[in-house]
Amino acid sequence: MECLVEKDDLLRCLYLVQGVVEKRSSLPILAHVLIESNDEQAEAADHALSLRATDLEIGIRQHCRARVKKAGSITTDARKLYEIVRELPNAGGSSADPTVIALRSAGSGWVEVSSGKSRFRMASLDPKEFPAIVQEEADGATLSPASCPGEVLREMIEKTLFATSPDETRLNLSGVYIEALDSGKLRMVASDGHRLSLIERQATITEPAAWPKVILPRKGLLEARKILERGEGEVSFSLQATTAGLRKEATALSMRLVEGEFPDYQQILPTEHNFLIAFSREELLSALRRLLILTTERSRGIKLQIEAGKVEISVNTPDLGEGVEEIATDYSGDSIAVGFNGRYLVEALTVMEEGQQITLSLKDDMSPGLLKTVEDQDFSYVIMPMRIF
């Protein structure tokens, strides 16, 4: 194979592809990207090259513009190729003229990468050893596809992914649960057992009632978020027997679904409250960030003393010190003191939009708290209380 491709196009494609490759694997081919072109692809400049990567659980296929001189396929280390391309100098020392990179197979086991006065020779493996990506292994017809704007799906991922469990032994909490509602909305839910994040957004869904309720893997959603960084444009989303697929323009991502059953989150959502306190997002977030300086990784507990007209937020860490912040509120009910993990509050407030008014609903000091925003009632965040002495 031999082709010419602009640096910016190749760099963009490799940025998306190299995130999927397996960092530590007994199969060396999983660290490689497969770059291929056939005669049919070569006729279409926008899809001249196909770049593929997989870790056997997640697969990505990325099309890239190029001028193909000789069709064929090569493989090489995805991350090393990305780093080399990123560091190559721009043509003429500036970004005004496009920098062209040549990729060429150089006999058995080698790939040549060249641009200007730079020449590199990289090890290659037999393209026939490259495994099929997840999407190609899926059996059965696609179930109930859906589509929505890219920025909408990215927001849904941003507002749930942070609440997943990092504990790999709790598979059913390590991903994000997704289901279709009869109203035509998609709902995504994540929980690590200490807090829960739920968001609903409108989508175009074929037969919502036929949608299975599944758990999407954390790594797959991290890669999906990268694809959606350029939020404009429509995104299609579909489910198959054991996989989920996402397609946006020239990029297709597939991921194997997480096995297990997501907990009945409906039982966790508070349905009644005796206290409703409103905050400014910016004031509460700033106060919490300052107070968390005097906490440790082992103890992130903060105390909220809620009284008429004000909320006093405090921390007390014996080895570090103590701090108090006071913010105003229009609350006029009875006093209540409740403790929460401060980091969990900060992470939720961070994904909320600036300038929004936050409400905290409480039944009592031992029941879960419910955070919502006045402007967006389709996003909810539940946080379990902590006993603060």
274 in the same domain as 379? yes
Contacts for 328 with CB less than 8 Å, ≥ 6 apart = 283, 309, 310
| Residue 148 CA: distances (Å) to CA of 19, 90, 157, 181, 237 | 24, 37, 13, 14, 8
Confidence check: pLDDT of 77 > 70: yes
Confidence check: pLDDT of 326 > 70: yes
282 in the same domain as 188? no
Confidence check: pLDDT of 312 > 90: yes
125 in the same domain as 6? yes
| Predicted local distance difference test score (pLDDT) of residue 266 | 94
| Predicted local distance difference test score (pLDDT) of residue 384 | 96
Tokens representing 275 are: 């206290």
For residue range 159-209, what is the model confidence (pLDDT) as tens digits?
999 999 998 888 899 999 999 998 889 999 999 999 999 999 999 988 888
Kindly state whether residue 215 falls inside one of the protein's structural domains: yes
Kindly state whether residue 29 falls inside one of the protein's structural domains: yes
Q: How many domains does the chain have?
A: 3
Kindly state whether residue 353 falls inside one of the protein's structural domains: yes
309 in the same domain as 229? no
Confidence check: pLDDT of 304 > 80: yes
Kindly state whether residue 134 falls inside one of the protein's structural domains: no
* Weakest-pLDDT range from 204-208, 220-224, 330-334: 204-208
| Residue 229 CA: distances (Å) to CA of 19, 82, 176, 232, 297 | 14, 18, 19, 9, 31
Binned at pLDDT 50, 70 and 90, residue 387 comes out as confident
Give the domain-ending residue among 223, 250, 265. Answer: 265
The angle at the Cα of 346, spanning 342 to 350, to the nearest 5 degrees, equals 175
107 in the same domain as 50? yes
Buried b (16+ CB within 10 A) or exposed e, 124-154: bbebeebbebbbebbeeeebbbbebbbebbb
254 in the same domain as 328? no
260 in the same domain as 152? yes
Binned at pLDDT 50, 70 and 90, residue 94 comes out as low
Confidence check: pLDDT of 20 > 70: yes
152 in the same domain as 86? no
- 310-329 mean pLDDT: 94
Confidence check: pLDDT of 143 > 70: no
Half-sphere exposure of 288 (CA within 13 A, CB side): 24
For residue range 230-251, what is the model confidence (pLDDT) as tens digits?
767 889 988 887 899 999 989 9
Q: CA-CA distance, 77 to 45, in Å (whole number)?
A: 25
CATH of the domain at 84: 3.10.150.10
What are the counts of helices (DSSP H) followed by strands (DSSP E) for the chain? 8, 26
Confidence check: pLDDT of 40 > 80: no
Q: Which domain holds residue 180?
A: 141-265
| Predicted local distance difference test score (pLDDT) of residue 138 | 46
| Predicted local distance difference test score (pLDDT) of residue 95 | 53
Q: CA-CA distance, 343 to 297, in Å (whole number)?
A: 9
302 in the same domain as 257? no
* Weakest-pLDDT range from 38-52, 122-136, 263-277, 331-345: 38-52
Q: How far is CA 312 from the centre of its chain?
A: 34
80 in the same domain as 56? yes
Q: CA-CA distance, 305 to 338, in Å (whole number)?
A: 7
Kindly state whether residue 388 falls inside one of the protein's structural domains: no
| Predicted local distance difference test score (pLDDT) of residue 42 | 52
